Amino acid sequence: MDWIFLAELSVNGALTGLLYSLFAIGLVLVYKSSSVPNLAQGALTMLGAYVVLAFSIQLGVPLWLAIPVAIVIMFFVGLGIEKVALRRLAGRPIVMILMMTLGLDIFIRGSTLAVWGGTSRPMELGVSYDPFFAGPLLLSRINMVGAAVSVALFVAFIFFFRSRLGIRLRAISDDYMASWSVGISVERGVGLSWALASVVAVITGVIWGEIQSVDQSLSLLLLKGLTVAVLGGLDSILGAVLAGILLGIVENVGSAYLDPIVGGGSRDLLVAIVLILTVMVRPHGLFGRHDIERV
């Protein structure tokens, strides 16, 4: 057993895993407030990256300005999606809500590609591709940047949930009937969580766009993000971060040892198996709230 190789795999896996957490935070934000599993988050991530590129390439705005502008635009896109599509489905069976997010996913992906085309294009953040040497370990610089952003976002959300607005969101996620009765506008809270999820989607899109360039495959992050979110417990942001690290390590180390046996491509298999096992063994995840169902 080559311990340095294993350590390198684990650390790089953990860094990649934190990038999955970035995606999962967006899912958790929406699920926490409205119990809607947002299967359109992958498409939103892709849209976010394309909007950033639309400003920076087509309009020639520098990237440091294009990203905030895209964040503002996507904030309102998120608000709009919640207001137009999801609000009227409240109280409907979960299959309709799932189908709505799947329809949104197909629609956003289709129209994004129809407007900007599917050719893959780089996101030039200017992070060097040279590996970073930490002792004997080779680490990817962009993954480190992304992991740092992920942790920063997590800390920011901790503070946000201590603010007056954040406490309102927490109240909504606890019990929306009770929140209604004390005068909290549940609709606005849920809309805000969609807007924040779309903002997270822009950030995810920028970081992942730098890693793998901006194209349709950005929306394929959905399976990994979903697995991380479920593993961490769908309503826990801390869970999303820790589960991301865990899944990243499992995926990276597991695929390094499994790939030679099964002939490559075992990453997606491992992720799907982790998702199945999580749901079978502990459906509410590592840190999620265990709801008791009443007849």
Partner 1 sequence: MFYRQSGIRHRSYVSDSKLFPIPMDRNLVLFLFLLGLAAPLLIDTLYLNSYVLPWLIWTAAALGLNLVTGWAGQLHLGYAAIMAVGAYSAVHAARFGIPWEFALLIAGLASAAIGSVFAFAAMRVKGLYLALTTLAMQFVMDWVLSHVPAITGGSHASLQSPPFKLLGQPITSDAGLYYVAFGWCVIVTIFVLNMRRTGLGRALVAVREKDYAAAILGVNSLYYKIVAFATSSFIAGITGALLVVTFFFLASPEQFSVTVSVQVLAMVIVGGLASIIGSYLGAALILLMPGFANSLFSATADFLGWQMDPETLAHIPNAAYGALIIIFLMVEPLGLGKIYNNIRDYFLVWPFDQMKK
Binding site for partner 1 (CB under 8 A): 37, 84-85, 88-89, 92-96, 98-100, 102-111, 113-115, 117-119, 223, 226-227, 230, 262-265, 268-269, 271-273, 275-276, 279-280, 283, 293, 295
Burial of 51 (0-12, 13-18, 19+ CB in 10 A): buried
Instruction: Confirm if 197 and 44 have CB atoms less than 8 A apart.
Output: yes
Report the chain's terminal Cα–Cα distance, integer Å. Answer: 53
- The nearest distance, CB 263 to partner 1, in angstroms, is 6
211 contacts: CB under 8 Å, gap ≥ 6: 19, 142, 143, 146
Q: Which is nearer to partner 1, 85 or 138 (CB)?
A: 85
Q: Which is nearer to partner 1, 107 or 257 (CB)?
A: 107
Which residue from 193, 276, 288 is spatially nearest to 240, judged by alpha carbons? 288
- The nearest distance, CB 276 to partner 1, in angstroms, is 5
- The nearest distance, CB 114 to partner 1, in angstroms, is 4
- The nearest distance, CB 87 to partner 1, in angstroms, is 10
* 221, 241, 247 from 124: Cα distances, Å: 20, 26, 28
- The nearest distance, CB 18 to partner 1, in angstroms, is 22
Q: Which is nearer to partner 1, 111 or 185 (CB)?
A: 111
Q: Kindly state the tokens that stand for 12.
A: 């790089």
Q: Which is nearer to partner 1, 134 or 276 (CB)?
A: 276
Instruction: Confirm if 63 and 56 have CB atoms less than 8 A apart.
Output: yes
Q: Which is nearer to partner 1, 63 or 223 (CB)?
A: 223
DSSP 109: H
Q: Kindly state the tokens that stand for 268.
A: 């997606």
Distance CA 234, CA 37 (A): 9
Q: 3-class SS at 214?
A: strand
Q: Which is nearer to partner 1, 85 or 211 (CB)?
A: 85
Q: Which is nearer to partner 1, 119 or 163 (CB)?
A: 119
Q: Which is nearer to partner 1, 27 or 67 (CB)?
A: 27
- The nearest distance, CB 279 to partner 1, in angstroms, is 5
- The nearest distance, CB 275 to partner 1, in angstroms, is 4
- The nearest distance, CB 228 to partner 1, in angstroms, is 12
Instruction: Confirm if 18 and 151 have CB atoms less than 8 A apart.
Output: yes
* 15, 114, 220 from 215: Cα distances, Å: 22, 12, 10
Which residue from 191, 222, 207 is spatially nearest to 48, judged by alpha carbons? 207
